[in-house]
Amino acid sequence: MTHPASRPQPLRRRIVGGLAATLALPVFIRDAFAQATLRPTPAQTEGPYYPVSLPEDTDFDLLAQGRLRYTRGSATRLAGSVTDTTGRPLRGAVVEIWQCDQQGHYHHPGDGGKADPAFQGFGRVVAGSDGSYRFRTIRPAAYAGRTPHIHVKVKLAERELLTTQLYVEGDPGNERDSLWRRLSAADRALITVPFQTAADGLQARFAIVVNA
């Protein structure tokens, strides 16, 4: 004969009991469970080539520098959103990107001043009410010692929330890149995205999650 204490609890009783246990937790613990739902985008080094002086153009289109037009490389539309870890859009967040040109040169005095003047190399936009942002640039190019990547920085008001790097999914240089390799598999997945064929070139989407 089965002792009453050893009988399985009815499903409803187990659910109610679990709910009661959850509600009994301190408020700050319950809030932590409710809010920490998204994994933050991992931070990476800024690197040596953040612009010393900004270009005349600092808009979303890195393929147009004044009257000049950059035609090398694969034109890419990069878009995404900026949210906090609860999924709340960060309206007004400033997203900056910078990268080398197709020949592997940055607009920076430390890189010898060899960058193509037609390539803007740096862009800055303000996230919309839904947290969205967009840029027009090129698929990042490799240079000595580094796999293709785009540098990304996110600011809100006077605070710098994130500096990271964006990688190309499937690029053979990733496995040889020391910065990419030292990331966990979960973190790699967050900053390594596909650059897919579109009607006017390539397109890539990068969701940015920050602790705000």
Q: Are residues 99 and 169 in the same domain?
A: yes
Instruction: Tell me if 48 sits within 8 A of 173, measured CB to CB.
Output: no
User: Under DSSP, is residue 143 helix (H, G, I), strand (E, B) or coil?
Assistant: strand
Q: Are residues 69 and 159 in the same domain?
A: yes
Residue closest to 169 by CA, chosen among 133, 194, 196, 139: 194
134 is in which domain, residue-wise?
Answer: 64-210
The Cα–Cα gap between 143 and 162 comes to 24
The Cα–Cα gap between 121 and 133 comes to 17
The pLDDT of residue 212 is above 50 = yes
The pLDDT of residue 130 is above 90 = yes
49 lies in some domain: no
Q: Are residues 72 and 30 in the same domain?
A: no
Q: Are residues 100 and 162 in the same domain?
A: yes
Residue 168 belongs to domain with CATH number: 2.60.130.10
The token pair that represents 141 in the structure block: 């190019």
Q: What is the pLDDT of residues 86-126, one digit of tens each?
A: 999 999 999 999 999 999 999 999 998 899 999 999 999 99
Q: What is the pLDDT of residues 180-197, one digit of tens each?
A: 999 999 999 999 999 999
Q: Are residues 27 and 115 in the same domain?
A: no
